[in-house]
Structure formats: structure tokens, C-alpha cells
């Protein structure tokens, strides 16, 4: 086993209140980190929703109940494994307990994969932007409302008891820095891609002239309000006024294709993949021309990074995450949130570039993607955790195994 030259391997417990499923953005971040950390000799144990509740939930009510019960199950797991871990790295809100109550003396890290405060703001805004949203049954509204209320309380408790907060963008650090109730040090650790995935995405890309000829726009992400589903009908209609032959590819919508198509203007020239294998992504993006990412709120935006790594100029709303990723191309690839007119005008401009102009912009996008590397991010995170352990006066134990 490879050893980390900076000191003995850390024993890390990673806690997430989600299934260990790479199709879920938060879970994928953790899965990638575990792979990098274990590859350099660290010992990582994960505790996720399906570890706490191995059997499939028989109903939506049971799913909600499990989310409410998960924090207490996670705390019980910590208390039953005393002395096994140097670091507990937990998603904010899923371990809202103080270190004394957990009987834990190591480093307690709260990890954000999208700041709960920003997501709460979006949910309130969404009811103003789209007042015609289906309301569902009263019992469902009551249950989801209670879960949201409990999650907010747990999240605020989590950030108040942590030793260290790990957030994916500067906007989140700025938000938490202004809270006098938070005493934890805040670090920014973005997400990345593996060297293998970057090489595969870039290597599969068709020549610039071929990509421009295809006139295909792609979007990677779950279909929903947060990801801009209500904006896509106008986006498609407006772009096709300037470029009638434009095709659209939706990847990883997680909803049945019929649901997605029912919300779009027509079906001609529109392809939809509910799910896809990660290994197939390079070939799926190879002949695309442009990426669009009209997300209203993001922690980071791994899908945006994948599009850039494929050499695709990608236009996004200027929200946390994309704001940080696209900063080097801010004037060309970021537009005000919800500004469909600005987004479609930028898209039409890129679709009309010459092959040499497109190739130059594509190279700039590849350069952005190369600056987000999982191996470097994982290493820097470990260095931050070591420094925080030192400041606590706690040293990682040397494992004999």
C-alpha cells in the first residue's frame, strides 16, 4: 500500500445521508475522494443512508422517515466505533451533534456539497418564479415541509459544532464567514476530474470543424426546476430562430424520457438519456458543439467541468460553483441567472464562430478543466486536515495493519 509521505495515514470516517450512488452528485464527490485517499494509503470508512437502512424503502413515507432518522443512526455508529477514526468528514446536517456527545476527540469536519442556506433561498424564490408548480397532496406537503425544517435546524447545528468547514466555492465561504455564530475555520476545496477521465473526454473530441457542423447543444444533469427545466423550452425556441438545425442532447435527466419531452417544444432533433455509464460520456460528448448549464443553484458543477474537459464551450448562469469555474472566461461564458436572452445570444454567437475561433475557445475550456484535478484536491484536503489535527493537539494514530 502506498504511504503518504507527509505523515502516517489518516483514519477517516465519511458520512453522507444519501445512497452510495455515483449518479448522485454529492455521493460521486465522496466516491472520488475515497478512491484518491485510499490510493495514497489512507484508511477510509463510509457510512451512508443504505448502510443505515440496507433494505429498500417500501414507500415514500419510509424514505422521508429514514432521512429524518439518519442523523441519530450516524451518531450511534460513531459512538459504537470509539477510537477508530482521526477525522470524521460529514455532510453538513447529517451529524448535528457536539464532539463530547459523540465521545469523539479527533477532527470533526462539516462538508458542504451545496450550502443549505443558498438552497433554501432558491426554494423560496422558485415559488415566486413558477407559482404554477404542482402542490401535491396535503400530507406530502406537510411531510416535506417538516423534513426541510428539520434539515435546516440540523444544518445550523452542524456548522456550529464543527472544527473545520469544507466548502466547494468562495461564495459559500463568504456567506459563512459573516456569521458570528460560526467559529470553525473555513476552507475552500473544489471538485475535480481524474486524469483518466480528463484524457478520455479530451481524446474523444471530434475536430472543431466537425463539431461546428453538427450544431449540437448538450446538457448534463437531473431534470428539474433547480437545473433550469422551465427555461429550456424558451432556450430551444430562441436558439432555433437563429440556427434552425440545432440539435439538443440531454444526459442523465433521471426522469423518464417522456416526462422530459412533454415539457419541450416538439421532439424533432432532441435526444434524451435518462442515465448513462460514466465510461460512455466521452463518446456521447464527442460530436457536441456547445454545452449549456442553466442551473439556478449549484455547490460546484461537476457536469459543467466534464463539458469543459471535453473541449466544449459551456455557458452557465452566474451562480456559486459555475461562477468560480468559469471565472477565466467570465465575459464569454457566464450570464446573469435566469437571463435566457443573454444565454441564447451567447450560444448563437458560439455556433456562428469560424473553426479557428471555435478551436481557440475550446482550448481555453480545456485549460480551465485541467486546473481541477482530483489527485491534487485530495492531497490538499489531507494537508488541511493534518494541520487542523495539529492545532487541536491531536495526532493521527499509526496503524499496524
Q: Is the pLDDT of residue 141 over 80?
A: no
Is there a single domain that holds both residue 179 and residue 202? no
pLDDT class of 139 with cuts at 50, 70, 90:
low
Which residue did the predictor score with more confidence, 141 or 400? 141
Q: Is the pLDDT of residue 5 over 50?
A: no
- Mean residue pLDDT across the chain: 93
Q: What's the length of the chain?
A: 401
* pLDDT of amino acid 387: 95
- φ, ψ of residue 181 in degrees (nearest 5): -80, -15
pTM: 0.92
Instruction: Look at residues 68, 207, 209, 204 and name the one whose alpha carbon lies nearest to residue 146.
Output: 68
Q: Which of 251, 245, 250, 205 is nearest to 362 (CA)?
A: 205
Do residues 243 and 150 share a domain? no
Q: What pLDDT shows up at residue 399?
A: 44
Nearest Cα residue to 327 out of 355, 301, 352, 348: 301
Across 121-149, average pLDDT: 81
Query: Residue 377 is placed in which grid cell?
Result: 484536491
The total of structural domains in the chain comes to: 2
Where are the extended beta strands (E) located within 200-355? Answer: 216-220, 247-251, 270-273, 290-293, 314-317, 334-335
Other CB atoms within a 10 A radius of the CB of residue 61 amount to 12
Lookup result for grid cell 455532510: 91
Task: Examine residue 118 and state whether it is found in any structural domain, yes or no.
Answer: yes
CB atoms inside a 10 Å sphere around CB 354:
11
Same domain for 309 and 378, yes or no, is no
Same domain, 232 and 284: yes
Q: Which three cell numbers stand for residue 119?
A: 438552497
- CA-angle at 394, arms to 396 and 80, nearest 5°: 70
Residue with cell 483518466: 196
pLDDT in tens, 95-120: 999 999 999 999 999 999 999 999 99
From residue 263, alpha-carbon distances to 134, 167, 236, 259 in Å are 14, 34, 11, 7
166: burial class by Cβ within 10 Å (0-12, 13-18, 19+)? buried
329 and 245 in one domain?
yes
400 in a structural domain: no
Assigned domain for 5 exists: no
Of 303, 267, 307, nearest in space to 286 by CA: 307
Both 211 and 337 in one domain: the answer is: yes
Taking only the tens place, the pLDDT of each residue in 263-278 is 998 778 999 999 999 9
Q: Are 314 and 290 in contact (CB under 8 A)?
A: yes
pLDDT of 332 above 60: yes
pLDDT band at 61 (very low <50, low <70, confident <90, very high): confident
Judgement on whether residues 337 and 246 belong to the same structural domain of the protein: yes
Supply the pLDDT for residue 132: 86
**17-38: average pLDDT:** 94
Give domain status of residue 96, yes or no.
yes
Q: List the alpha helices (DSSP H) in 17-105.
A: 25-39, 49-52, 60-79, 99-102
| pLDDT score at 90 | 98
Q: What is the pLDDT of residue 135?
A: 72
Q: What is the mean pLDDT of residues 27-55?
A: 96
The C-alpha atoms of residue 285 and residue 204 are separated, in whole angstroms, by 8
Residue 261 within a domain:
yes
What's the grid cell of residue 101?
456527545
Q: What is the CATH number of the domain that holds 169?
A: 3.40.50.2000
Q: Each residue of 10-20: pLDDT tens digit?
A: 999 999 999 99
Decide if pLDDT at 1 tops 60: no
Does residue 209 share a domain with residue 134?
no
Separation between Cα atoms, residue 147 and residue 151, nearest integer Å: 6
pLDDT in tens, 366-386: 999 999 999 999 999 999 999
Q: Are residues 121 and 174 in the same domain?
A: yes
- What pLDDT shows up at residue 145? 82
| Alpha-carbon gap, residue 361 to 136, rounded angstroms | 45
pLDDT in tens, 334-345: 999 999 999 999
Residue 6 pLDDT > 80 = no
Question: Is residue 68 within 8 Å of residue 93, measured between CB atoms?
Answer: no
Residues 156, 204: one domain? no
Main-chain dihedrals φ then ψ at residue 297, nearest 5 degrees? -160, 135
- Do 154 and 210 sit in the same domain of this protein? no
Q: Which domain holds residue 154?
A: 11-192+373-392
* Percentage of residues in the chain having pLDDT higher than 90: 83
Residues 284 and 152 occupy one common structural domain: no
> Which whole number is the average pLDDT over 345-362?
97
What was the pLDDT predicted at 278? 92
In a domain, 397, yes or no: no
Amino acid at each position: 500500500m502506498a504511504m503518504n509521505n507527509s505523515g502516517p495515514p489518516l483514519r477517516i470516517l465519511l458520512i453522507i445521508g444519501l445512497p452510495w450512488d455515483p449518479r448522485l452528485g454529492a455521493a460521486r464527490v465522496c466516491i472520488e475522494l475515497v478512491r484518491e485517499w485510499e490510493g495514497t494509503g489512507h484508511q477510509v470508512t463510509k457510512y451512508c443512508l443504505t448502510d443505515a437502512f440496507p433494505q429498500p424503502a417500501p414507500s415514500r413515507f419510509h424514505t422521508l422517515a429514514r432521512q429524518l432518522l439518519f442523523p441519530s443512526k450516524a451518531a450511534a455508529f460513531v459512538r459504537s466505533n470509539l477510537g477508530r477514526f482521526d477525522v470524521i468528514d460529514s455532510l453538513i446536517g447529517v451529524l448535528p451533534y457536539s464532539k463530547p456527545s459523540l465521545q469523539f476527540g479527533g477532527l470533526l469536519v462539516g462538508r458542504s456539497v451545496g450550502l443549505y442556506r443558498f438552497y433554501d433561498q432558491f426554494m423560496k424564490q422558485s415559488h415566486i418564479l413558477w407559482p404554477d408548480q404542482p402542490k401535491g397532496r396535503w400530507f406530502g406537503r406537510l411531510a416535506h415541509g417538516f423534513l426541510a425544517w428539520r434539515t435546516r435546524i440540523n444544518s445550523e447545528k452542524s456548522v456550529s459544532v464543527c472544527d473545520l468547514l469544507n466548502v466547494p466555492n468562495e461564495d459559500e465561504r463568504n456567506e459563512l464567514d459573516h456569521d458570528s455564530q460560526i467559529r470553525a475555520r473555513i476552507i475552500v476545496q473544489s471538485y475535480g476530474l481524474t486524469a483518466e477521465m480528463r484524457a478520455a473526454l479530451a481524446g474523444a473530441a471530434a475536430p472543431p470543424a466537425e463539431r461546428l457542423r453538427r450544431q449540437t447543444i448538450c446538457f448534463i444533469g437531473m431534470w428539474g426546476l433547480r437545473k433550469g427545466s422551465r427555461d429550456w423550452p424558451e432556450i430551444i425556441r430562441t436558439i432555433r430562430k437563429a440556427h434552425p438545425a440545432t440539435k439538443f442532447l440531454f444526459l442523465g435527466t433521471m426522469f423518464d424520457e417522456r416526462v422530459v419531452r412533454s415539457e419541450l417544444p416538439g421532439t424533432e432533433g432532441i435526444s434524451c438519456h435518462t442515465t448513462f455509464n460514466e465510461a460512455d460520456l466521452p463518446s456521447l460528448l464527442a460530436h457536441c458543439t456547445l454545452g449549456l448549464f442553466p442551473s439556478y443553484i449549484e455547490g460546484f458543477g461537476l457536469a459543467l467541468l466534464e463539458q469543459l474537459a471535453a473541449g466544449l464551450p459551456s455557458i452557465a448562469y452566474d451562480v456559486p460553483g459555475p461562477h468560480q469555474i468559469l471565472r477565466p472566461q467570465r465575459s464569454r461564458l457566464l450570464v446573469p441567472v435566469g437571463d435566457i436572452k443573454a444565454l441564447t445570444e451567447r450560444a448563437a454567437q458560439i455556433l456562428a464562430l469560424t473553426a479557428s475561433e471555435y478551436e481557440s475557445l475550446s482550448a481555453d475550456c480545456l485549460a480551465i478543466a485541467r486546473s481541477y484535478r482530483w489527485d491534487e484536491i485530495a492531497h490538499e484536503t489531507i494537508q488541511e486536515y493534518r494541520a487542523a489535527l495539529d492545532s487541536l493537539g491531536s495526532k493521527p494514530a499509526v496503524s499496524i495493519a
